Amino acid sequence: MSGYRFKAGQQVEILRSTLRTAAPGHYEIVACLPVEGDGPKYRLKSRDEKHERVVAERDLLDALEMPA
Q: What is the pLDDT of residues 8-37, one digit of tens each?
A: 999 999 988 756 778 888 999 999 999 888
Average pLDDT, the chain: 88
CA distance 34 to 1: 10
Asked whether residue 1 is assigned to any structural domain, the reply reads no
- Using CB atoms within 10 Å of the CB of residue 66, give its burial: 0 to 12 exposed, 13 to 18 middle, 19+ buried: exposed
Asked whether residue 4 is assigned to any structural domain, the reply reads no
Nearest to 11 by CA among 68, 66, 67, 64: 64
Q: Please indicate whether residue 64 or residue 56 has the higher confidence score (pLDDT).
A: 56
| 24, containing H or E segment | none
How many helices, marked H, and strands, marked E, lie in the chain? Answer: 0, 5
Range of the domain at 23: 11-65
Total domains, the chain: 1
